[in-house]
Chains A and B, each alone.
Chain A
Amino acid sequence: MIEVSQLRVEREGRTICAVEHLGITPGSKLTVLGSNGSGKTTLLRVLAGLTGDYSGTCRVAIDRHELTYVHQHPLLFRGNVLNNVRYGQRPGGRDALEWLRLVGMEHLAARSTRNLSGGEVRRIALARALALKPRLLLLDEPLAELDKQACEIVSDLLESLAETTIIIASPTPLPGALGKTTYTLSQ
C-alpha cells in the first residue's frame, strides 16, 4: 500500500527527514519513533501529500480522499464541535455524534470550538478524521496532552479499526498493540 525508498527531505541545506526503505501493508498499524527533529512529522506530511519537495520514491497507492492526516497541533474550524466532525463527511456513514461518543466527547457536541482544552481538540480532531472512514490514517502524536483515561479510549479505538492502515508519529513507544510495529527515524 505504501512504499518509501531513499526518501530525503532537505531544507536550507540540512536533511530534515531520511528514510532508506519503508513498506506498509493495508490494515497494519505502524508507529514512527524518533527524537525531536528526526523527521517524523515530515514523513507523515510527505505521505499525506502535503510536502512534495523531496528526493527518492514515495508511493501511496490510494486516492487522496481515502487518507486523512491529523496535525501535531490539530486545528478545529470556527463553529461548533458537531459541525467540525461533519466537515467532509459523506452521506451514509456513521453519525457524527456517534464518532464523538467513541472518543468520549459527545457532551461537547453543541459547544463552540473556542475555549476547548488541547486534549479535547485532539480527540475531536480524531473523531473528525475517523468520520471520513479513511483507509489510511496519519496521526501526529495523537496521545500527547491526553490523560491516562483518554489515552486508553483513543488507543482502544484505534486498535479496533482493523481495516484502517494507521501510521502514528510519536517520540515515545506507544502502549498495547499500537506500539507493536515500529520504525525508528535517526537524526
Chain B
Amino acid sequence: MHLIWEGFTDALDMIFSGEPLVFSAAWRSLWISSTAVALAMLIGLPLGTWLARAKFRGNGFIVLLFRAGMALPTVFVGMMCYAMFSRRGPLGALDLLYTPWGIVVGELLLAVPIIVGITHGAIKSLDPRIAETAWTLGAGPLRRWWTYISEARVSVLLAILTAFARCVTELGIAMIVGGNIKFRTRTLATATALETSKGEFARGIALGTLLLVIALVVTALIGWLSREDRR
C-alpha cells in the first residue's frame, strides 16, 4: 500500500516539478497515439461503413479478419514492423526503425481493425430507414456516409476511444520498433516498463498514473462530444 501511495505522490511531484523526461515521454505518447488514431479514422471509418453497407461475396470473411485483428498482440505487430523496417526489410529504405513515425505505423496497424470492427457493427445496427431516407432525399455517397456516422456517433466515438486507449497504453510496438530511446522514442508505457525493470516501482506507478490521467482526460472529452443533447 505504501508503494502505491508513494507512486501517487511521486506522480504529483513529477507533474508539478515539470520533469523534462516525463513530460517528453507524455507528450510523445500523446502525439504518437493521436496521429495513429487520426490516420486509422481516415481508413477505418469509410472502410467500416462500406463493409456494413456493401453486399458482396467474401464480405463476412473480411469483417471476421478485422474482428480478429482487434485482438492483435502488440508484440506480434512490433515484430512484424521490425522485420519490415529493418535495413534488410522491404520498407528498410524508409528509415522508420527507432523513430516515432515507426511507432505511429505500428499503432496504426493496431487501431485500424478496432475502428473498422466497431464502426461496422455500429452502422450495421442502424435503423434501415436512415439509409433509405437519406437515399430518397437525394443525398450523394459522401452525404449519406456522414449521415450514418452522425447517427451512429456514440458507437463511432467509442471506437475511437477504444483505439486510442489501446495505442496509448501499448508497449510491444513502442519497445521493439521505437527502441525506448531517451528523448527520442521513449513513451510513457516504455518509460514505466523501464523504471519497473530498474526496481523503481514508485516511479513506475507514477508514470502509470500519468497514463491514467491522459486516458481520463480523453475519455471525458469523448464523453462530452457524444452527449445526446449536443447539436
A contact residues vs B (CB 8 Å cutoff): 48, 50, 64-65, 67-69, 71, 73-75, 77-80, 87-88, 112, 114, 128-129, 132
Q: From B127, B138, B228, give the contact of A75 (CB < 8 A).
A: B127
List A contacts of B147 (CB < 8 A): 77
Query: What is the interface of chain B mostly: helix, strand, loop, or mixed?
Result: helix
Are the CB atoms of A88 and B139 closer together than 8 Å? yes
Instruction: Provide the bound-state CA to CA distance between A64 and B134, in Å.
Output: 12
The minimal Cβ–Cβ distance linking B101 to chain A, given in whole angstroms, is 37
Q: State A112–B230 Cα separation when bound (angstroms).
A: 10
Chain A at the B interface: mostly helix, strand, loop or mixed?
loop
Which residues of B are found within 8 Å of A112, using beta-carbon distances? 229, 231
B136 touches A69 (CB 8 A): yes
In the complex, are the beta carbons of A88 and B150 less than 8 A apart?
no
Task: Given A77-B147, A78-B150, verify A71-B133 contact (CB < 8 Å).
Answer: yes
Give 9 new A-B contacts, CB below 8 A, not counting A50-B135, A87-B139. A48-B136, A65-B138, A68-B136, A74-B133, A78-B150, A78-B151, A79-B150, A88-B143, A132-B138
A75 touches B150 (CB 8 A): no
Q: Which of B132, B135, B136, B229 has the most CB of A within 10 A?
A: B136
A54 CB to closest chain B CB (Å) equals 17
Across the interface, A50 reaches (CB within 8 A) one of B136, B139, B143, namely B136
28 CB contacts below 8 A, A to B, read A48-B136, A50-B132, A64-B138, A65-B138, A67-B136, A68-B136, A68-B137, A68-B138, A69-B132, A69-B136, A71-B129, A71-B132, A73-B129, A74-B129, A75-B127, A75-B130, A77-B130, A78-B150, A79-B150, A87-B137, A87-B139, A88-B137, A88-B138, A88-B143, A112-B229, A114-B228, A128-B137, A132-B138
In the complex, which residues of chain A have a beta carbon less than 8 angstroms from the beta carbon of B127?
Answer: 75
Closest to A75 in B: B129
Q: Which residue of A lies closest to B147 (CB)?
A: A77
Q: Which chain A positions have C-beta within 8 A of B138?
A: 64-65, 68, 88, 132
**In the bound complex, how far is the Cα of B129 from the Cα of A71, in angstroms?**
8
> B151: which A residues are within 8 A, CB to CB?
77-78
The 3 A-B residue pairs whose C-beta atoms are closest, nearest first, are: A88-B137, A75-B129, A69-B136
State whether B129 touches A79 (Cβ < 8 A).
no
Residues of A within 8 A of B135 (CB): 50
Q: CB-nearest residue of chain A relative to B129?
A: A75
| Docked pose: A77 CA to B139 CA in angstroms | 13
Assuming the contacts A88-B137, A88-B139, asked whether A77 and B150 have C-beta atoms less than 8 A apart, the reply is yes
Separation of A32 and B137 alpha carbons in the complex (Å) = 22
Complex-state Cα separation, A62 to B130, whole angstroms: 23
- The complex places the Cα of A67 from the Cα of B147 at a distance, in Å, of 20
